[in-house]
Structure 1
Amino acid sequence: EYTDWHVLFWVSAGFGALAAVLVLTLVPESAVRSGGRFDLVGAAGLSTGLFCLLLVISKGADWGWTSALTTGLFGASVVVLVLWGWWELRTREPLVDLRITARRQVLFTNLASAVFGFAMFAMSLVLPQLLQLPEATGYGLGQSMLAMGLVMAPSGLVMMAMAPLSARISKARGPKVTLMLGAVVVAAGYGLSVAMMSAIWHLVLVSAVIGAGIGLAYGAMPALIMAAVPVSETAAANSLNTLMRSIGTSTSSAVAGVVLAQMTITLGSATVPSENGLRLVMAIGAGAALVAFALAAFLPGRRPASATPTTHPASAVPAEAAP
């Protein structure tokens, strides 16, 4: 609001550098050593394929979904990712072990994570616009960017507060139940927005409820992944899970952009998103959360203690340690 937008990126870079220093100085090194070499070809292939795919998702609406650039990049991403998969299945030390990724628990956790990422990001796309749109629209709240940030802040605090509860539920009932509960809470938060979008406290409540669901679900995802892969693969498997969430958020941004670009009203000389468009994006977020719930339902149930595999230490560790 008061300075150049580039400052946001410089500040983020500063925090990233600080985090790197803190990790190097305070976080103990893992005793697990699997050896091997870095899969440079796999890293280059995955980066190239995802670059093309995410660029299409992010810019397709601006370029036109049927334009030569959009279809060309999408086709390139498909070809590159297929070749990348072929390479990963044949190299001795792959960047991502696709055979492990195809396991039911890993596969459905990743699918649920992608859809959940789609669901959670709808809030971040709608609430800031609703808060800052002029009151003359009849539904905008006319707030400053600073006020918008303060309204959204409680959501992050609620996420942090829910982390211990997420761990306790996972320990008692298993992370599958925690993930499903988180998806239901997120859907309920979006449901509240149907009737509660006309006051600042409405949006604080909506964002806090959605934040609670995100906090529950995000604590369960690493536990599900770590319990299903060998200890030597936890880093790659969790990284891929994070990537799936990022693909979900990028897709959410593209879909919301299309909806809000098509459903507009004219305010003076400006064109702004309509109230129905904003509500539709929130409804899509609720639907995506319910799809994530359905995908999580296909995850294997919690095994009895006597049936717990002994090949992976994380499968016997309480969920508090998993994230």
Structure 2
Amino acid sequence: MSDAVVPSPTAGGPAPARPAAVVAVLALAGIVVSLMQTLVIPIVPELPRLLDAPASDAAWAVTATLLAAAVATPVVGRLGDMAGKRRMLLASLVLLVAGSVVCALSDSLVPMIVGRVLQGLAAAVVPLGISIMRDELPPERLAASTALMSASLGVGGALGLPAAAFIADHFDWHALFWTSAALGVAALGLVAALVPESKVRTGGRFDLLGALGLAVALVTLLLAISKGADWGWTSTATLGLFAVAAVVLPAWGLFELRTREPLVDLRATARRQVLVTNLASVAFGFSMFAMSLVLPQLIQLPGQTGYGLGRSMLTVGLVMAPSGLVMMAMAPVSAALTKARGPKSTLMLGALVVAAGYALNIVLMSQLWHLLLVSCVIGAGIGFAYGAMPALIMGAVDPSETAAANSLNTLMRSIGTSVASAVAGVVLAQMTTSSGGYALPSENGFKVVMAIGAGAALLAFAVASFLPARRAAAGPSPVAGEPHEPARTTRA
């Protein structure tokens, strides 16, 4: 990787805005992009009819976004470090708007998948926003702002579910995508007008071969995980995809270690603070998504099961939405704790709160207010943890590597959510009960998934305990309250 950090040209960009405006716009962009996680959930059961396609094919409207996001996040993060973070942020939002319009105009499977892929390619907005904040904000605002930006991953998903359910219930389903297109245009305009381009860049040559190798490894791995339950875990397709990933991933790693300007600096990734944070992020991604899988089903299952509440998807959204608000509220609290005790303590506290939320869910699951309480407790823990992760990553990498490092951390969370979906699917498919002639997930099945979610959070706590102490954790980046050090620059 190039040692030079090249200041970007300011011509054509907006004049420096007030920090509060920059933070608000970037957080809004993050929330808009994270809405794509829950945008189609209310219409998933209807997709085969709406798109005139078999259910197995219609499911690609969800899977395609997951795969596109996994590939785009590290690639766009690296391009942001090289060519300009604001520039790549704007490009990502353009892809989101384009994908939303394509989906809004579609009535068949292929254009819907194309549009959903384009929406998934915008997934790097959150790590890019965190990286812009590091470059542009004064140190006293950095921790709280990056905590809010990181939490926007969960905030958008939680707040988007009731909105999407309401739109799907009262309007034509295409309105979901016209709404996301309008939000994307608003975010695009605000970023263009108010967010300055970072002066910190690496320059250098893009590692195209490394990007292709990583894309193959991630697509095969995540496709096997997400489709294994449908295809069969011992099917030729599933085992073949796992085998390809097992061969390509190590080969890609060796190539990256020998490349002068790699897509992912694996030596930096192997630093203790970065490595441990990324491993904890996988566990947190698992814990966060387990809640999203369990609570909606408990709310919607028929009341005659004895544990289902028989409510609508709109009720699901209204129960889940407060967790997003709690995540947002925890951002300044997380920053204050990070400033006082260091990000390691904040991350470990978040893990314990998430574990407590799942433990609570095992004994409180019979009333709507039980599930509302549980979602808020888990949301608080995720808010703490997601606020600490950017501080840990930025405390261990050079400013010129911030976008790539944060993008990789975001990818680790996504891998955790994919594994959670697969594990929960297997558990709930194996532990069933009969109701009205149908096999439904049993109450004990849900409790097992909750226990696994609690275990994943405790695993994150144990992993985080290996992080360096606060003094050792201080790296090239300022973490809350620490002074900036000037980046080494060269004139273009």
Deviation at 1:37, TM superposition (A): 2.0
Deviation at 1:209, TM superposition (A): 0.2
8 Å contact 2:216–2:248 — kept in the other structure?
yes
Letter of the structure 2 residue corresponding to residue 164 of structure 1? P
Asked whether 1:84 is paired with 2:239, we answer no
**Which moves more between the two structures, 24-33 or 248-257?**
24-33
In structure 2, relative to structure 1, the CA distance for the partners of 1:13 and 1:97 (3 Å cut) is farther
Residue in 1 that maps onto 2:200: 32
Deviation at 1:82, TM superposition (A): 1.6
Q: CA RMSD in A?
A: 1.9
Note the residue ranges of structure 1 that are not aligned, 5 or more in a row.
none
Q: How does 1:167-316 map to 2 (within 5 A)?
A: 167-303=335-471, 308-309=474-475, 312=476, 314-316=477-479
Deviation at 1:8, TM superposition (A): 4.5
Asked whether 1:59 is paired with 2:59, we answer no
Q: Which of 312, 318, 322 matches 2:481?
A: 318
Q: How does 1:157-168 map to 2 (within 5 A)?
A: 157-168=325-336
Asked whether 1:98 is paired with 2:261, we answer no
Letter of the structure 2 residue corresponding to residue 277 of structure 1? G
Letter of the structure 2 residue corresponding to residue 183 of structure 1? A
Measured in 1, the distance between the counterparts of 2:174 and 2:471 equals: 50
In structure 2, relative to structure 1, the CA distance for the partners of 1:250 and 1:10 (3 Å cut) is farther
Per the normalisation by structure 2, the TM-score is: 0.62
8 Å contact 2:428–2:445 — kept in the other structure?
yes
In structure 2, relative to structure 1, the CA distance for the partners of 1:226 and 1:308 (3 Å cut) is closer
Deviation at 1:269, TM superposition (A): 2.4
In structure 2, relative to structure 1, the CA distance for the partners of 1:82 and 1:29 (3 Å cut) is same
| Alignment deviations for residues 1-34 of structure 1 (CA, whole Å, 9 cap, x no partner) | 5266665456445544543343232211111122
Measured in 2, the distance between the counterparts of 1:84 and 1:308 equals: 30
Measured in 1, the distance between the counterparts of 2:437 and 2:399 equals: 59
8 Å contact 1:228–1:315 — kept in the other structure?
no
Measured in 1, the distance between the counterparts of 2:184 and 2:217 equals: 25
Q: Which of 120, 125, 149 matches 2:288?
A: 120
Note the residue ranges of structure 2 that are not aligned, 5 or more in a row.
1-167, 485-492
Measured in 1, the distance between the counterparts of 2:428 and 2:409 equals: 29
* Matched residues, number: 315
Measured in 2, the distance between the counterparts of 1:4 and 1:277 equals: 35
Letter of the structure 1 residue corresponding to residue 206 of structure 2? F
Letter of the structure 2 residue corresponding to residue 239 of structure 1? S
In structure 2, relative to structure 1, the CA distance for the partners of 1:69 and 1:10 (3 Å cut) is farther
8 Å contact 2:391–2:479 — kept in the other structure?
no
SS in 2 for 1:198: coil
| Alignment deviations for residues 258-314 of structure 1 (CA, whole Å, 9 cap, x no partner) | 00001111111222111110111011000000000000000001007xx955xx2x2
Measured in 2, the distance between the counterparts of 1:20 and 1:197 equals: 41
Letter of the structure 2 residue corresponding to residue 255 of structure 1? V
SS in 1 for 2:468: coil
Q: Percent identity?
A: 71
Measured in 1, the distance between the counterparts of 2:406 and 2:269 equals: 10
Letter of the structure 2 residue corresponding to residue 198 of structure 1? S
**Which moves more between the two structures, 253-262 or 84-93?**
84-93
**Which moves more between the two structures, 239-248 or 140-149?**
140-149
Residue in 2 that maps onto 1:141: 309
SS in 2 for 1:315: coil
In structure 2, relative to structure 1, the CA distance for the partners of 1:308 and 1:117 (3 Å cut) is closer
Measured in 2, the distance between the counterparts of 1:282 and 1:218 equals: 20
